[in-house]
Amino acid sequence: MQINTISTQAYSDQKPGTSGLRKKVKVFQQAHYLENFVQSIFSTLPESNNKKLIIGGDGRYFNNEAIQIILNIAAANGYTDFIIGQNGILSTPAVSHLIRKYNAFGGFILSASHNPGGPDEDFGIKFNVSNGGPATEQNTDAFFAYSQSITEYKIADLATIETHSCGHYQQEQLAIQIIDAVDDYAELMQSLFDFELIKQKINAGDISLCFDAMHAVTGPYAKR
């Protein structure tokens, strides 16, 4: 696997908020912008023998390109095992669950929640740690501090990973698994709620149900 070291210049505006780093798509498309931020994350997280990452997003514009960039930089930084949602799709709570279920080091969530998407609209990225929760304020402060003085990043020269079909793929020394975006989360929900009883109550007219799936990528989960 060829790993390249790319010279770069720092951007001054990469301070994450509580929901990660959110900017217009055109900001993320600037040369080295996303690469700088992802390298800043890897350069400041604690060392671990756990090299497994979860990656997915809400499918908005730039989602698939960002996944490829993250994968390439992660591989260059020593990560070897990846679980990615089919078509690049994973909701925020689904990523949180997958991190815990598959004992991953952490996960990247590419989402700007209810913010509008599209070439002229918003994109977002955040990192969740091994307990499934968002990176701590101490973590995000470290990401930002590193991003202010970054001069280079490492990136692997990998072939594009197709995410359309579920399955296990091997590329170089990397193990990449493309999974159904909903399966694991639906299984979790079935362990928490009695869907059969809810169905009976709805059919009997005892309760009514309104589900708002307008935010992010909740639609596939609502349908399941």
H or E element at residue 202: helix 195-203
Q: Is there a contact between 155 and 162 (Cβ–Cβ < 8 Å)?
A: no
DSSP, res 80: -
Residue 174 tokens read as 């990397």
Active-site annotation holder among 113, 130, 149, 208: 113
Tell me how far apart the terminal alpha carbons of the chain are, to the nearest angstrom. 39
Residue 91 tokens read as 């909701």
Classified as helix, coil or strand, 53 is: strand
C-alpha to C-alpha distance for 161 and 66, rounded to whole angstroms: 12
Q: Determine whether 43 is an active site residue.
A: no
Residues belonging to the active site:
113
